[in-house]
Amino acid sequence: MALRWYTLAGEVGEPISQYMAGVICYYGMVGSVPDYEQALGWFQKSAKNGNPNVYVCLGRMYFEGKGTVKNYNIALNWLKRASDEGESFSSFIIGQTYSFGGYCVDRDFDLTEIWFMKGANNEDPNSICGMEVLYGIRGDSKRNRDKNFEWCTKAARYNFGIVLNTVTLHFLIVNARKVFVMTT
């Protein structure tokens, strides 16, 4: 029933209804199997009518090849457009893409940092955790270890279990070093 109403409103150009029709088709929420091609069509209409919330959906569909052929360049373009509109999770996805490399980009930790930072500045918890992991990977200097702990502490506000374990471990290591230095 909901798909019928969203479809009616979507056919006259209402972008939120087009987005919702796309979501229903993507997840198969009307008791049917997902229809990725129909979802892609609704998402494209919604984007054309100015709904920036749909850009991440389009990026994801092109990354995964759902309803369309995989195309990493188009996927990244949609995600960058979403990020430019203030959608912070897209910054995390782009940062993660650069952290692994492959797809259509080379591995580049400097670009990873730029994209994670963009998401972190908008309080995206995934991007904040991404910064923590990035500085953990770059833990070859005291500055990077300190930055890792700083981001780890910020990420702990979001109660990610792995981050809380990392904060605890870092605290134990730092205090163990202090005890070792005091006893030698």
The domain segmentation of the chain, as residue ranges, is 1-85, 109-184
**pTM (predicted TM-score):** 0.78
- The mean per-residue pLDDT over the stretch 56-77 comes to 95
Q: Which region holds residue 51: left if phi is over 0, alpha if psi is between -120 and 50, else beta?
A: beta
CA 121 to chain centre: 13
Query: What single-letter DSSP state applies at residue 101?
Result: -
- Tell me the pLDDT band of 55, cut-offs 50, 70 and 90: very high
34-38, 41-45, 106-110, 151-155, range with the lowest pLDDT: 151-155
Whole-number average pLDDT of the chain: 83
Instruction: Please give the pLDDT value at position 7.
Output: 85
| Backbone Cα Rg of the chain | 21
Instruction: Please give the pLDDT value at position 162.
Output: 52
How many alpha carbons fall within 13 Å on the CB side of residue 89?
A: 8
d(CA 126, CA 89): 7
Domain 1-85 bears CATH identifier 1.25.40.10: yes
